[in-house]
Amino acid sequence: MKIVKPDEAGRVRIPNGLIPNWSENHSIFLFPLHWKRSVPVPNEYQMEAWLLCEIDKNQDSQWIVSPSQVRSRAGDEISASDLNALIFDIKIEEHKNGMRITLPKFLRELGWLPSAGQVTVLKQEINGLSIWTEKSFRHLFPSIAKYWDNYSD
């Protein structure tokens, strides 16, 4: 787990130790974490925890809401089209002993992902990386408050 702050352009640096083993020619996407697994936070925080990972059609059964099925049905079903709007293609670039991604401006403006200078939590997940706002993560893990109080960039 790592606490970071996006820069002015909304970029977040991911340290090498948190970078999942993605395939060489990977396409990485960002979508709500609760599509992959249960996130025990109140409904108002559900959109403040996101998953960064590859979309693998061979793993559809491991999803609560399958991103690959949402994408394939988006042209035919209104509900799939609405959900497809929550799948973001993410560009990753190498940067100082790690990688760097830019968080979607749309999500930052809604408050669903932190803006420049606000705390972001990165947490390893199976085959991916979750990205949390400070308030959603604090709600889920209130017992580590002393860690937050001692945090500094």
- CA-nearest of 68, 5, 77, 73 to 31 is 68
- 109 dihedral zone (left: phi>0; alpha: psi -120 to 50; beta): alpha
The domains of the chain are located at 2-149
- What pTM was computed for the model? 0.86
Of 30-44, 49-63, 136-150, the least confident: 136-150
The tens digit of pLDDT for each residue in 81-117 reads 999 999 999 988 888 878 899 989 889 888 899 888 8
pLDDT at 17: 84
Distance CA 120, CA 117 (A): 9
User: Is the distance from CB of 128 to CB of 51 less than 8 angstroms?
Assistant: yes
The CATH architecture one would assign to domain 2-149 is 3-Layer(aba) Sandwich (3.40)
Cα–Cα distance, 100 to 119 (Å, whole number)? 16
What are the φ/ψ torsions at residue 116 (nearest 5 degrees)?
Answer: -50, 130
The per-residue pLDDT for 132 is 93
Query: Cβ of 124: how many Cβ atoms within 10 Å?
Result: 14
